Chains A and B, each alone.
Chain A
Amino acid sequence: MSLSGLLRPAALAVLACAGLSAFAQTDPGDAERGRAIYEGRIALTASTTGGAPVPGAVSACVQCHRPSGMGGFEGRIGIAPITGRVLFKDVDPDTAKFFPWPGRVRIRPAYDAASLGHVLRTGVAPDGQVLRAPMPLYALPDADVRDLVAYLRGLSTAPTPGIDATTVRIATITTPGADPERVQAMLTVLRRFEASRNSQTRREAQRGLQASQSRFFLKDSKFRRWNIVHWALEGEPAGWPAQLERHYEREPVFGVLTGMGVGDWSPVEAFCEGKRVPCILPQLEQVPDPAPNSPQRRFYSLYFHGGLAQDLGAAIVQLTQVGVHGVEVWMDGATSQTRERVTRQLLASGLNRVDRAQGEREAVLSLLPPEQHLPRWQARGAGRTVVAWVPGARWLSPQQWNDGVAGASTVVLVSPLRPSEQAAASMQRAAAWLRSQGLQALPLDVASTTLYASTVFGETFMHLDFDYTREYMLELLEHGLESMIPLSPFPRLTIGPEQRVASKGSYVGLLRDGAVSWQWQSTVNH
């Protein structure tokens, strides 16, 4: 289902409830405890309407209604929004008149603690309707209901930073050490995308003034102007949290759109999670390890690929399979965090480090980009050598791949990107746009990846409709990312609840009959 198809009913329900009578609260309850109940950190006793027990993790409100409280859709099953603005407001017949299909707007009184407790226990809503599966039935004491009410009253009601009636501010973040030419290419595409989007925004806002049915769109400034700011981090990673804090204080942003980093990105991830800022598809060498047993701690950060760890893992599997025991590692210019990561992963795999690889049991393992790898490989004078080349998210032509391993006896190539010709095909759309903008000289891999990330951000932002919360944005992406038109050289990109790395494997190229043959290696072997 398309994003727009997915969202309209949810947005409608929110709109239907906006601006109506206030909820009269009598008992404040404990909102923090209510949040713990909502998120399943306090286990609930629940059963399906048919009486089947529902395990605690599944019966948590957040499971279906999601962190934003905006609910969602799966197939034809809709989960109602239950944000503060929705649940505790009447939905009256007058509201329904605003819609071309008033019969589909459900009329019901506002919830309060008593009626919420009743519906949770019995499934019977204040208007007498019986809510059925998949809504479970809960055995909830009154105190829990009061706490839940306290939390739900504030759910998705606070103003979101970085967004006002006319403008949305978006950051892009770079770390020192990122290739300046590629950073520049990314920034150029972002600027052009921003300008192109804002010129369209002016026209759409004008049109909205003419058409009465557009008033809702205008009201919520669907066509806000974009203001992209560049936060260039400096110095060592230890200093980045303070820099990010200062940037955010000075220029609060709604979200972070792509970005570029080498070495350790975890200070940026910690910022995104801590401030609850969506950080959408940065272009990274390394992706932070997920926090163990706590998927909620990585909710706001969305990555293309598992980065170096994923590619290196694939290379190690192949090298081990061909009987390699030792590796001569090429990673000149790598940050200390990258060196540390490589050392850790090699150690775990049982491969030894050697100064100079010789014979069939030892291999050159190069993590260098082509401009560094090619001269070094040529200078080495290959002989019969095993080589694994893992250049990261760099799109290379078949010729470049071949030159990079010429003369080797055994070859392992690893890339997070589609093989050359396939990637070229998916980048064609981006290439056409770049030509139309006079930007054809930019490196196509970084330009198309940036254009894709921008499109993902922009499309999702437009579909937020009437609730501009950041959680809602991530939830829309959980459903919608895999339906976006692929513009980048990355393969199938898909996430879901508790999934924040979109591509779950690497391409591995092996020499077969003198030619490189590529195959997808999933992070798991089926």
Chain B
Amino acid sequence: MRSIAGGALLALAAQAAFIAPAVAHKGEHHEAAAYSVKQVKLASVPPVPLVSMFGRAGRLDRELGADAPVLLNFVFTTCSTICSMQTAVLAELQRQATAQGRRVRLVSITIDPDNDTPEQLLRFAKSFKVQAGWEFLTGSFDDLIKVQKFFDVYRGSKGSHPAVYLLRGATKDQWVRVEGTASAEALLSLLPTVATYR
């Protein structure tokens, strides 16, 4: 892994395998403050049935198939650490994207369907003032494991889930995997604009 300063400045075009922490921490905590970026090529998104926070029936391939840049993450609403901070970052990203006139589709999928009902997801979303264009989704336990495995974020239990954002790149099978605690600006800079999207 090579270190460079200012991960957020890196554009998608750089195609770097990894971006290491701007400052490498030596310490017992907060060492995962920075993030890595990896290009990944995935098979076609499977048609897994999902349910939105509004109770609408959906399908994973359609939810992620929008003609706009897509940013996906995995959360659970009683998560103590990662999910709330990621959601706060994405709420900021959504504000900035709107201010810049950029279209971004945000999708947050729960990894705790036993507890995260559509109503619970809606409450969680509202607490972050999420705007249109951002859906929280749930589904059956088994289906959601399939989804997590597809995106390589399944770690056996919800408490072990990695802090990952998945950004759909310039083509529909090209994804960018951001692992760690990237800022809203960093993520936004990694997302293709609608103009470059094809």
Residues of A within 8 A of B (CB): 1, 6, 9, 12-13, 16, 48-55, 57-58, 63-64, 66, 71-80, 103-106, 129-136, 478-480, 482-483, 492, 494, 496-499, 504-505, 522-524, 526
Q: Which residue of the partner chain B has the closest CB to A80? A: B29
Complex A-B: 12 CB contacts under 8 Å: A16-B28, A52-B92, A54-B85, A55-B84, A58-B84, A73-B159, A75-B155, A77-B82, A77-B181, A104-B28, A130-B25, A132-B34
Contact of A1 among B28, B139, B159, B185 (CB under 8 A): B159
**The stretch of B39-47, B60-68, B108-116, B170-178 that contacts the partner chain:** B108-116
Interface SS of B by simple majority: loop
Contact A74 B159 (CB under 8 A): yes
Contact, CB under 8 Å: A78 / B31: yes
Q: How many residues of B contact A (CB 8 A)?
A: 52
Q: Which residue of A lies closest to B30 (CB)?
A: A131
Contacts of B28 on A, CB cut-off 8 Å? 9, 12-13, 16, 78, 80, 104-106
Do A482 and B158 form a contact, CB below 8 Å, given A72-B80, A78-B31, A496-B79?
yes
Chain A nearest CB from B39 CB (Å) reads: 20
B113-138 CB mask vs A (1 if < 8 Å, else 0) is 11101110000000110000000001
Contacts of A106 in B (CB 8 A): 26-29
> Which residues of chain A are within 8 angstroms of B138 by Cβ–Cβ distance?
526
Residue of A nearest to B31 (CB): A78
Instruction: Choose from B27, B82, B139 the contact partner of A74 (Cβ within 8 Å).
Output: B82
> Which B residues touch A104, using CB under 8 A?
28
A133 pairs with B181, CB closer than 8 A: yes
Q: Is B193's beta carbon under 8 Å from chain A?
A: no
Q: In the assembly, what is the distance between CA of A79 and CA of B82, in Å?
A: 10
Most buried by B among A9, A16, A49, A526: A526
Q: Which of A55, A105, A499, A522 contacts B88 (CB 8 A)?
A: A55
Known A-B contacts A80-B29, A135-B30; the reply to A75 vs B92 at CB < 8 A is: no
A52 touches B80 (CB 8 A): no
Contacts of A134 in B (CB 8 A): 30, 33, 81-82, 85, 181
Report the separation of the CA atoms of residues A55 and B162 in the bound assembly, to the nearest whole angstrom. 22
* Residues of chain A lying within 8 A (CB to CB) of residue B197: none
Q: Does B148 contact A (CB under 8 A)?
A: no
Give the residue name and chain of the A residue nearest to B161 (CB): A75
Additional pairs, 16, CB under 8 Å, beyond known A9-B28, A130-B23: A1-B157, A48-B85, A49-B183, A50-B89, A52-B92, A63-B84, A79-B81, A104-B28, A130-B25, A133-B30, A134-B81, A479-B160, A496-B159, A497-B79, A526-B139, A526-B140
Closest to B35 in A: A133
Nearest A residue to B186, CB-CB: A50
Measured in the bound complex, the distance between the Cα atoms of B33 and A130 in whole Å is 10
Please name all residues of chain B whose beta carbon is closer than 8 Å to the beta carbon of A57 when the two chains form the complex.
Answer: 127
What chain B residues lie within 8 Å of A51 (beta carbons)? 92, 183-184
CA distance A304 to B4 in the complex (A): 49
**By the criterion CB–CB under 8 Å, are B128 and A55 in contact?**
yes
Q: What residues on A are CB-neighbors of B162 within 8 Å?
A: 75-76
Chain B residue at smallest Cβ distance from A78 = B29
Give 4 closest A-B pairs by Cβ, nearest first. Answer: A132-B33, A50-B183, A52-B92, A80-B29
Asked if B156 CB lies within 8 Å of chain A CBs, one says: yes
- Pick the contact of A499: B27, B78, B140 (CB < 8 A): B78
In the complex where A51-B92, A75-B155, A75-B160 touch, is A80 in contact with B30 (Cβ < 8 A)?
A: yes
Contact between chains at A479 and B157 (CB < 8 Å)? yes
Closest A-chain residue to B25, C-beta based?
A: A129
The CA of A133 and the CA of B184, in the complex, are separated in Å by 12
Cβ distance A131 to chain B, nearest Cβ, rounded Å: 5
- B50 to A: closest C-beta gap in Å: 9
Q: How far is the CB of B159 from chain A (nearest CB, A)?
A: 4
* Chain B residues, Cβ within 8 Å of A16: 28
Is B163 close to A, CB under 8 A? yes
- For the complex, what is the distance from the CA of A522 to the CA of B139, rounded to whole Å? 11
